[in-house]
Amino acid sequence: MKVMMTWLVFLMWMFVGLGATQAEEKIVLKTVNITLDQVTLKKGMSVFADTCMGCHSLRYMTWKKLMDYPEIGFSRKEVDELRDGAPLNARIMTSLTAADAMASYGIVPPDLSVMARAREGHGAYIYSLLTGFAHDPKGRIPDGNYNLYFPGHNIAMPDPLSWLDHDPEDENELREQARTVSSFLVFVGEPHQIQRQATGRWVMVFLVLLTIVLYALKRDVWKDVKHHK
Ligand code: HEC
């Protein structure tokens, strides 16, 4: 019994120890101001179309929705320029085939529709990833594949914004591209969130009013009972 207890304590101590070292290695993401306003989302979509769509799709977003969601609010003309002949109701799909992707990158780039929601850190993760290409301090992972924020640091995505070794004068523009496309992907991951937040506020106001009315009603109903006491 005593031996078993000793083992148990030892094992628990090990797990706590492991947890602690893992926590120390946890990557801290960059902070970024994700905003879901029209200017940001439009610019983010343009960055997506110019840069990311060469490899990634958004299978849960259609060209038409870019006009229909007032948060993005593209005009028909803007969408026509972006969709480049694809049907209005079509999903936003890359022209890169899986076979070509396998040949070039050894992996098919994931769909980005719900990526921002799926990853811990959400928009901040995408932003950090796009601005996280660096030289491998150990010199093992080649430039363009070493990323400070990707688990294991070796990413098959070749530095899409050419962040590594960028000119200092381009820094602000690159950061803004990364910020807007991250914001756009946060929106795409949950396009109803803005509306839901608005609905949520009205529900709160309604509940408060309902409470006041019910309280007044209760006082009114019990008024006479109290008088008889
Ligand atoms: C030249 C092709 C290419 C382009 C362009 C590209 N990507 Fe990627 N991307 C990839 C590949 C390949 C992967 C898979 C990486 C892996 O798992 O190692 C990937 C993975 C990702 C991931 C997932 C990382 C993870 O945690 O699994 C995100 C997010 C991402 N890309 C965002 C973007 C954004 C945003 C853009 C545009 C600014 C972009 N990518 C442009 C090829 C590309």
Asked if residue 132 belongs to a domain, the reply is yes
Find the 157 Cα to ligand 1 centroid distance in Å: 5
pLDDT of amino acid 195: 73
Residues 125, 207 share a domain: no
Residue whose CA lies nearest to ligand 1 atom number 15: 156
Distance from C-alpha of 226 to C-alpha of 229, rounded to nearest angstrom: 5
Residues 163, 186 share a domain: yes
Tokens at residue 70, please?
């007032």
Domain of residue 129, residue span: 38-191
Residues 213, 134 share a domain: no
Residues forming a β-bridge with 91? 62
pLDDT of amino acid 226: 64
Asked if residue 9 belongs to a domain, the reply is no
Residue whose CA lies nearest to ligand 1 atom number 26: 150
pLDDT of amino acid 54: 96
pLDDT of amino acid 16: 60
Burial of 98 (0-12, 13-18, 19+ CB in 10 A): exposed
Residues 104, 54 share a domain: yes
Work out how many domains the chain is built from and give that number.
2
pLDDT of amino acid 200: 85
pTM comes to 0.80
Quick check: 68 and 61 in contact, CB under 8 A? Answer: no
Residues forming a β-bridge with 154? 146
Asked if residue 116 belongs to a domain, the reply is yes
Cβ neighbours of residue 42 closer than 8 Å, sequence gap 6 or more: 72, 73, 74, 78
Q: What are phi and psi of 175, to 5 degrees?
A: -60, -40
Asked if residue 78 belongs to a domain, the reply is yes
Quick check: 70 and 167 in contact, CB under 8 A? Answer: no
Residues 218, 161 share a domain: no
Helix, strand or coil, per DSSP, at residue 107:
coil
| Pocket-forming residues, ligand 1, beta carbon under 6 Å | 47, 51-52, 54-56, 105, 107, 109-110, 112, 115, 119, 126, 129-130, 155-158, 160-161, 181
Q: Which DSSP string corresponds to 132-147?
A: -B---TTS-SPTTTBB
Taking alpha carbons only, the member of 158, 155, 164, 160 closest to residue 135 is: 164
Quick check: 56 and 19 in contact, CB under 8 A? Answer: no
Residues 200, 175 share a domain: no
Asked if residue 227 belongs to a domain, the reply is no
Residue whose CA lies nearest to ligand 1 atom number 36: 52
CATH number where 154 lies: 1.10.760.10
Residues 147, 112 share a domain: yes
Residues 149, 80 share a domain: yes
Strand runs labelled E in 56-125: 58-62, 91-92
Taking alpha carbons only, the member of 107, 106, 91, 98 closest to residue 57 is: 91
Distance from C-alpha of 41 to C-alpha of 44, rounded to nearest angstrom: 5
pLDDT of amino acid 194: 72
Asked if residue 44 belongs to a domain, the reply is yes
Tokens at residue 211, please?
């409470």
Asked if residue 103 belongs to a domain, the reply is yes
Over the chain (229 residues), the average pLDDT of each successive run of 10 is: 69 60 70 95 96 97 93 92 93 96 97 96 97 96 95 96 95 98 96 78 92 93 72
